[in-house]
Structure 1
Amino acid sequence: MTHTEDSTDALRQAGDELADATVAALFERGEVGEFNTLMRYVSVAGAPLPDGLPDVALEYLRATSVPPAWVDWGEMEKARLFFIDNNVHISTALSFASMPACYLVPHVAKLLSATHGLNYPSRRMAETGQFTVYLMRPDAFEAGGRFVPAAQKVRLLHAAIRHHLKREGRWDTGTLGVPICQEDMIGGQMFFSLLVLDSLHRLGVHMSEEGARAYYYAWRVVGAMLGVDQDAVPGSLEQARRFLDTYMVRHMGPSEEGAHLTRQLIDLYEDVVPGTFFDPIVSALIRHLVGDTCADWLGVSRTPWDTVVKAVPHLLGVLETIEDRSPLGAWALDRLGHLTTVLELSSLTRGRVMHYAIPEQLKKDFGVSGTLPRARRWTPPAVTLP
Structure 2
Amino acid sequence: MSKLKLYQNERLDFLRKQEDPLADQAVGELMRQPEIISQINQWTEIPDTLPSNFTPSLQEFFLEYKQELTDQEKEILKQGQSFFNKQGDIYLAMLGFYSLPYCYAFANGAEVLVRSNRIVNESGKRLGETAKFLLEVFRPGAFLNSGEAFFICAKIRLIHAFSRYFIHHYSKDWKEEFGQPINQEDLLGTNLAFSLLVLRGMRKIGISISKRESEQILGYWKILGKLMGIQTDYWPDNNKEAFELEKLIRLRHMRNSKAGEILIRSLLSYYEQNQREAFLKGKSESLVSFMIGKEASSALGIQTESIFTSEIIGAIFQFLGWKNYAGKKSHARFIQEFEEGYFQQFGEKVRIQLPERKRS
Which bin holds the TM-score, normalised by the shorter protein? 0.7 to 0.9
Counterpart of 2:312 in structure 1 is 312
How much does 1:291 deviate?
Answer: 0.9
Distance 1:107 1:70, change over 3 A: farther
Counterpart of 1:379 in structure 2 is none
Counterpart of 1:102 in structure 2 is 103
8 Å Cα contact 2:139-2:331 kept in structure 1: no
Counterpart of 1:326 in structure 2 is none
Distance 1:202 1:295, change over 3 A: same
TM-score scaled by structure 1?
0.80
1:251-266 mapped onto 2 (5 Å cutoff): 251-266=253-268
Q: 2:201 is aligned with what amino acid?
A: S
Q: Aligned equivalents of 1:52 and 1:77: distance in 2?
A: 36
1:343 aligns with 2:344: no
Counterpart of 2:85 in structure 1 is 84
Aligned-residue sequence identity (percent) comes to: 22
Q: Aligned equivalents of 1:263 and 1:4: distance in 2?
A: 33
How much does 1:296 deviate?
Answer: 3.2
Q: 2:311 is aligned with what amino acid?
A: A
Q: Aligned equivalents of 1:64 and 1:171: distance in 2?
A: 35
Distance 1:38 1:183, change over 3 A: same
How much does 1:201 deviate?
Answer: 0.5
CA RMSD of aligned residues (A): 2.9
After TM superposition, the structure 1 stretch with the greater mean CA deviation from structure 2, 332-341 or 284-293, is 332-341
Q: Aligned equivalents of 1:70 and 1:254: distance in 2?
A: 44
> Quick check: which one's helix share is greater?
2
Residue-by-residue CA offset, 1:250-282 (whole Å, 9 max, x unaligned)? 001111221121122122222332265522232
Counterpart of 2:178 in structure 1 is 176
1:205 aligns with 2:207: yes
Distance 1:144 1:300, change over 3 A: same
Q: Aligned equivalents of 1:164 and 1:255: distance in 2?
A: 22
Residue-by-residue CA offset, 1:104-155 (whole Å, 9 max, x unaligned)? 0112112111123212011221111111111111231146442111111111
What is the count of residue pairs matched by the alignment? 346
Q: Aligned equivalents of 1:169 and 1:266: distance in 2?
A: 27
Q: Structure 2 regions of 5+ residues with no counterpart?
A: none
Q: Aligned equivalents of 2:259 and 2:57: distance in 1?
A: 35
Counterpart of 1:229 in structure 2 is 231
Q: 1:180 is aligned with what amino acid?
A: I
Counterpart of 2:240 in structure 1 is 238
Q: Structure 1 regions of 5+ residues with no counterpart?
A: 324-330, 362-386
Distance 1:244 1:281, change over 3 A: same
Distance 1:68 1:185, change over 3 A: farther
8 Å Cα contact 1:151-1:226 kept in structure 2: yes
1:9 aligns with 2:4: no
Counterpart of 2:354 in structure 1 is 357
Q: Report SS of the residue matched to 2:36.
A: helix
Q: 1:356 is aligned with what amino acid?
A: Q
Q: Aligned equivalents of 1:276 and 1:67: distance in 2?
A: 49
Q: Report SS of the residue matched to 2:232.
A: coil
Counterpart of 1:42 in structure 2 is 43
